[in-house]
Structure formats: C-alpha cells, structure tokens
Amino acid sequence: MAYENVTYEVKDGVAVISVSRPKALNALNGATLSELEDAFRDAFSDDAVGVVILTGAGEKAFVAGADIGEIAELNLETGKAFALRGQALLHLIENGPKPVIAAVNGYALGGGTEIAMACHIRIASRKAKFGQPEVNLGVIPGYGGTQRLPRLVGKGIALELILGGDMLDAERACQIGLVNKVVEPESLMEEATALARKIMSKGPIAVRCALEAVNRGLQTTLDEGLRIEADMFARACSTEDKDEGTSAFLAKRKPEFKGR
C-alpha cells in the first residue's frame, strides 16, 4: 500500500512504521491516523513480522501531538468523534497480537505521548520531550492520556502533568516510569531493533499469550487477572513451542521455535 504520511518497512521480521510529516512535526491529522491504522493492520496480519517499531521521521519530533488546526474546528459532537477515532487506533496498537516498541526520537506531546503509551515498550532518545499540554489549548487529552498515564506513573504525577501542561525531558520520563530506557540519539533505532530481535528469539506464542495476559489483566481485578494468566499459561503449555523450549533447556541447546 502507498502511504503519504507514514513509511512502512519490514526487514528481517521487524516492521518499522514511521510517522512522516516532518514539516508538521509529525502531527496526527485524520489522514495520518487512517494510514497508521492500515500500517499496523498490515504488520499484525503479516506472518513474517514478529515485532513492530513505531518512530517519527526527522530529528525533531516523534509525534508532536494532534493537528491543532483540526482541534480548533471541533464542537460537542465532532469533538467526541475526534477522540473516539484516535482512541480506536491506540486500542488497536495496545491490544495487537505483536509487541510494539516506541522509539521516541524527539517531541512526543499530546497525542505523541498518548500513542507512545499505547505501545508496549518505550525507548527514548536523550533529546525526547514528553507532555500532555492540552489544557494550554483549553481541552484535555482525548486519545487515552487521562487513562493510560495514571496507570503508568500513578495518579498524582499524572494529574500534575495533565493539569500543569508542562513538558518533561527523557530522563524525568524514565524516572517516573513513562519510559523504559533512555539512549543517545544515534543509538535509538539500534537499541530498539536489538530489543525487537531479543523478543523475536523467544517463543512467539508465549509472547502473544504474555501480551494478552498483561493487557486483559490490567483491565480487571487481581483475582480475575490470575485466572486469565492461568488460561494463557495453559494455552502455552499445549504448544509444540513449549515442548521445544523445555527440551532445548534440558539438552542445553538453543531452542528453535516454530510458532506452533
């Protein structure tokens, strides 16, 4: 598929999706949301893809938010549709069957922080900046920021960021748990790709089961989450990959997982 606002490339099982609107600091307009949805659906349905990396084109921005020109035209009815559209894309990313790594190379503000939070793991360039500055425009986060941010960093810090509307640097983002790791800008994609390859060396069914157990478990009680975990564990135990992994461990050799 030909894209205008994103690039999509698959190499050795790793799909790299890059938001490519550098003149707009990779802001998320309606067309870009649609193209991102298509790209992620392609990656999730491609058996050759094991892990997805999401990043931004250029050196300045990962995603510098939603398109403010579009926000300026919203009203009661269109505002809700706008929020639901973005939430649907982020739900797709977060609940997809394959791990998604955000390689945050620059400004990740508003919708940029929100889409990064929908990814399963976040690696940030030392130059990255995060924030939910929507209150400065007279609105609030609409793509999941009021829900995912408290779950990641706690209610107090989340409210400080959402109500204050300030930016924070990559080191602070890492300290509060918003980011997994901070690296030098020139090492960002190398680090993200190395992590992708590490994940791809594990049992692919086990990876999918773990993703599902964590995502579903976070939406319910501990007791229900433990039941979900037991179900996913049982599913993994029924696979050829489990037989291969345990046999390889006992034989002190490297496993050769087949995804069966």
Strands ordered across the beta sheet of 107-109: 61-63, 107-109, 129-131, 167-169
Measured distance CA(130)–CA(64) in Å, rounded: 9
Query: What residues does 14 pair with on adjacent strands?
Result: 11, 51
Q: Residue 145 phi/psi, 5° resolution?
A: -60, -35
Q: Which of 94, 114, 186, 256 is catalytic?
A: 114
CB 70 within 8 A of CB 29: yes
Q: Which of 134, 171, 212, 229 is catalytic?
A: 134
Determine the 3-state secondary structure of 116 from DSSP: helix
Annotated catalytic, 114? Answer: yes
Determine the 3-state secondary structure of 42 from DSSP: helix
Annotated catalytic, 134? Answer: yes
Helix (H) or strand (E) holding 6: strand 6-11
- CB neighbours of residue 254 within 10 Å: 8
Catalytic residues: 114, 134
